[in-house]
A and B are shown apart, each in its own frame.
Chain A
Amino acid sequence: MKNNLLLKWRWRECWQGQLWPITLALSLIIACVFALSALVTRVDKIMVDQGRSALGADLVLVSNQQPISPDTLASAKKLGLTISQQTRIRTMAFSDNGMQLISLKAMETNYPLRGELQLDANPLTANAKTLTMLQHVQPNELWLAERLFNLLDVSIGDTVAIGDAELTVSGKIAEDPELSFNPFNQMPSAIIHLDDIAKTGAVVPGGRLSYRAYFSGPDSALNQLQQEISITASQRWLSEQSQGRSAEFINKAQQYLSLTLLLVLLMASATLVLTSQHYRNSQQSTVAMLKSLGASQAWLRRWLAGQLAMLFGLSIAIGISCGFLLEQLLRLPLTDLLPDPLPSIGFSPWLVSIGIALLVGLPSMGISLLHLLATPATSIIGQDTPTKKQYWAYSLLLLPLISLIVWFGNNKMMWLTLVGLAVILVLLGALGLLITKLLQQKRWGPAVTLALSRLNRSRVASMAQLGALTCSLMLLSVIWLLRSDLLNDWQQTLPANAPNVFAINIAPEQVDAYINQLDQWQLDHSQAYPVIRGRLTQRNDEVLQSVSPAVATKPETEADKEKDSALRRELNFTWLPQLPSHNEVLEGEWSTERGVSVEQDIAERLNIKLGDTLHFSVNSQSFSAKVNSIRKVEWRNMKPNFYFIFSPDVMADLPTTWLVSFRIDDQQTGLLNQLARDYATVSLLDLRSMATRIQSLLQQVAWSLTVLAALAVLSGLLLVLTLLRLSVSQRQQEIKLYRTLGASKKRISATLWAEYGLMALIAGFTAALGAQGIIAAVVKWGFELPVQPHFYLFITLPVLALALIYVITLSMFKQLLAPLRA
């Protein structure tokens, strides 16, 4: 029975008493952390899945020249891993009508262990009613990349000679999991079964040869394998962490997720601290009364501990349920991306969200409650007896501090954010006070004068209030604007009309006709780019690599591997009278006199400066050009991009093929087929499905980010509202006194407006200033995006703050105006 009453009491405190804002803040923390960590778990899973599908396995061991040792394979087998072996070689393929350097992959039937291999056995020309799609390679089959059918001029059933073997073409490779996103540098590939590689006789020492072992199995076994096996210099592991194209977007989205989570946590913790303090103030008389009725310290401790336990229990129940719903909401747009059935999120979101709520909640509430316990019994008679300071209570702050150190460790970015915020909080509070000081020196009406003097009187309290108000306004605008900046950047890099088909190997005499054809069909297309493959050999007097034409087929030496990847392979060069408009010149100026414009990253890596003379080699022909400009290239935009762009006089004489990219819609596949028929020697790289995939991924991630940002903004508003409500209710006694003394409604309203309006304006202005700084810093160093000013913040934030003040005072006005009870 007695427990019943205690339970009822605690329950009602959570809902009707001063505790509901705390319950709300705590639930918010749990809901956000739960939803986000569940989402991150799933997004991680998608990334790993996508990465591994693109790899064809969970883990790959690549060995150049040397076959993978039987010991390695035995170890993998012992660990219970599934193994698929592959041999790759660059070799020539001959048909009756042509020959071509190809990348030959000889694989086992069980390849791929992850992802999808699709082999299309249908004749290319006939519109076969029954489609035969195969997933695995069998002995005596030969599958060719689509381009090879043109290059070798063969059809299904024809014979192609690879080395000593004569093989019959079985069909085309419709989808290879390992297809690179890079439309260039892609040597057309052919697939045969591993059993047939010996027949070709192409595996000879010194050939461009690599052996691969594909593994799949549990992560623990994969890790153990990597630990057990020491790889040689010519071997390397490939895992999903070797990033794909979409990884960058996801990475940025994840970075945004964790930053938002941190800010939401900070704002919710601030709400917790404030509401706990208010709870402490409001409960002091109750504790004193209970003490006067003879409640012992032990009883009070039990009472508060029970209250705390119920509060946490309730918040966990609400938080997890809301978090669960929120996760569904955030996941809604991601349905297509997520595997079906969904992998379980496991226990981590539960543990993490409850753990964080405890870490944040215990100190912010604990400190206030411990102070509350120390309330002297004499305060019931309104005697202002000083409370014994409970300094040790602050040791509770070690909880989140130590966890932060453990969690972030040496993540400089997060520490900088935290320390930066603390500094900004103090600076903004001080700036706000300075502004009020300055304002005070002018003559104002009575309401404003009174408000200014009150703000200046309790300096620490005003500074804390101003600082907190400013910071929350600032954080919520940071979250929202960061989202806009991020989405803007994505939209710009991959606009809805981004090109999705590349036509390469266009002969010079075909270019005009080809472009005309595209124009006739009104397809959006790029200009035509001449493409010449060659190498960078020398910078000024420094030789970067030998000019030997045989370099492409020579085995890689150790020294080769030390070199920058740009030096290890042939690059695509182009020459143009003008730089493309989508390339931004960072340094220098484009000129058409024996000049070359270099991409920013490669210039940095190879220490290339303006004015350097670079030497190049194309088909053993050497030439040089002077660096006239450094360009920034957006590689993600799917437009044709080049490391080196030359002025026409440097290389216009060299034999070249041309490239053009264009956009084609799904229903225009017929046009693509016609192009393929009319220009049989031109290779078409149809990236439509990939572009659509990236675009829809972006849209989906963007939607999730928007929901999240909205949530964060809501929690920020909750903080601001709590802050203002608490502050206004602290004024309640004073305002009631004015009313009792007969102050008119108008006068009271003017006083409130003057004080809070001033505070809102000052906080709004300083928050806009702070937000500009933070967004600029985070965008520049955190996300590496261009910085944009957001001047409208200087209007939006003060107006928003004023609107909030209006809502608060309006909702509390009636209560405030009631005269004091006699």
Chain B
Amino acid sequence: MSDPVIKADHLVKQVSTANDTLTILQDVSLQVNAGESIALVGPSGAGKSTLMTLLAGLDVPSQGEIHLLGQPLSQLDEEARAALRCEHISFVFQSFLLIPTLTAIENVMLPFLIQGQDQDVARASQLLEQVGLAGRAHHLPSQLSGGEQQRVALARAFISQPKILFADEPTGNLDQQTASKIVELLFQLNREHGTTLVLVTHDQTLAERCDRTLKIAAGKVAS
């Protein structure tokens, strides 16, 4: 058994509104090992996405501690957490989130830009080829279909060779046929790169393809 890359202990997330305090997550503990793929499932509003933002260090829990790649997140400020993500973590989003004014290949190379590295065009082209978009490298997102846009997002996610990939409903905006192709691609790339995958989804069949499923209901782990 390899070491856990994510370790969360007794997480609580509360949000204050004008009138009262809402508890979104209550005493959630979990562990994800390197190379493992885990699905966070549950009904809408259960707190899956919130849990993902905490695990990825995008937000901080109200109580509890998270160790991400061995580092206690409570000890890191926002900048240090950003540096950690920059180096080791990637995302795929439901709404693709490509930059509309950059071409497909330029979108793929965006992480290099943030890391301050030289643009590795060859590698970006290779990834685009892997996702089946070799001929569309110089198209703008507006010239691509939804499925094609998500493939670009996949290529972008893997270009920085992340240790962990967080995917938030990656097929949520796609039709079934396209979705299944994207899922194939996601797992294939995940295997090839040996990435740890944390997947937030409604989709039971998608969840079943992961090594493990964690059910979240009313802010708690229900399994």
Residues of chain A touching chain B, judged by Cβ–Cβ distance below 8 Å, are 1-2, 4-6, 8-9, 12-13, 16-17, 285-286, 289-299, 376-378, 380-383, 385, 821-822
Contact = CB atoms under 8 A, between A and B. Distances in A.
Given A292-B56, A294-B87, A9 B99 contact: yes
B86 A9 contact: no
Interface in B63-101: 78-79, 82-87, 89-91, 93, 95, 97, 99-101
Nearest to B111: A293
A376 B59 contact: yes
Contact of A377 (B53, B95, B101, B118): B53
Interface in B171-190: 173, 175
Residue of B84, B97, B168 with most chain A CB atoms under a 10 A cut-off: B97
15 contacts: A2-B112, A2-B116, A5-B102, A9-B106, A13-B101, A289-B93, A290-B110, A292-B58, A293-B111, A294-B84, A294-B89, A299-B114, A299-B116, A378-B59, A383-B50
B109 interface: yes
Interface string B179-210: 00000000000000000000000000000000
B109 A5 contact: yes
B49 interface: yes
A6 B113 contact: yes
List 4 tightest A-B contacts by C-beta distance, closest first: A294-B86, A294-B85, A12-B101, A377-B58
Contact of B99 (A286, A296, A299): A286
A822 B56 CA distance: 28
A289 B100 contact: no
Contacts of A377: 53, 58-59
B178 to A, nearest CB: 10
A693 to B, nearest CB: 56
Nearest to B78: A297
B119 interface: yes
Nearest to A12: B101
Given A299-B114, A377-B58, A5 B86 contact: no
B117 interface: yes
A253 to B, nearest CB: 44
B173 A821 contact: yes
A175 to B, nearest CB: 65
A229 B59 CA distance: 75
Nearest to B90: A293
A285 B168 contact: no
Contacts of A1: 118-119
B20 to A, nearest CB: 15
B100 A380 contact: no
A821 B146 contact: yes
Residue of B90, B91, B114, B146 with most chain A CB atoms under a 10 A cut-off: B114
B83 A296 contact: yes
Contacts of B175: 822
A8 B106 contact: yes
Given A12-B101, A294-B84, A383 B91 contact: no
Contacts, number: 101
Residue of A13, A292, A293 with most chain B CB atoms under a 10 A cut-off: A293
A295 B118 CA distance: 16
Interface string B22-56: 00000000000000000000000000011011001
A8 B168 CA distance: 30
A16 to B, nearest CB: 5
A22 to B, nearest CB: 14
A361 to B, nearest CB: 21
Contacts of A376: 58-59
A378 B56 CA distance: 10
B53 A383 contact: yes
Residue of B50, B85, B87, B173 with most chain A CB atoms under a 10 A cut-off: B85
Nearest to A380: B93
Contacts of B110: 290, 293
B91 A296 contact: no
Given A2-B116, A293-B111, A377-B59, 7 more contacts: A2-B113, A9-B102, A16-B101, A293-B110, A294-B86, A380-B168, A821-B173
A821 B148 CA distance: 14
Contact of B53 (A9, A294, A296, A381): A381
Contacts of B84: 294
A380 B119 CA distance: 25
A295 B114 contact: yes
B59 A296 contact: no
Contacts of A293: 85-86, 90-91, 110-111, 114
Contacts of B101: 9, 12-13, 16-17
A293 B118 CA distance: 17
A286 B141 CA distance: 14
A1 B146 CA distance: 29
B82 A286 contact: no
Contacts of A297: 78-79, 82
A383 B22 CA distance: 14
A17 B100 contact: yes
Contacts of B58: 291-292, 376-378, 380
B82 A296 contact: yes
A293 B111 CA distance: 7
Contacts of A380: 58, 91, 93, 97, 168
Nearest to B16: A386
Interface string B111-154: 11111111100000000000000000000000000100000000
Contacts of A294: 82-87, 89, 111, 114-115
Contacts of A385: 59
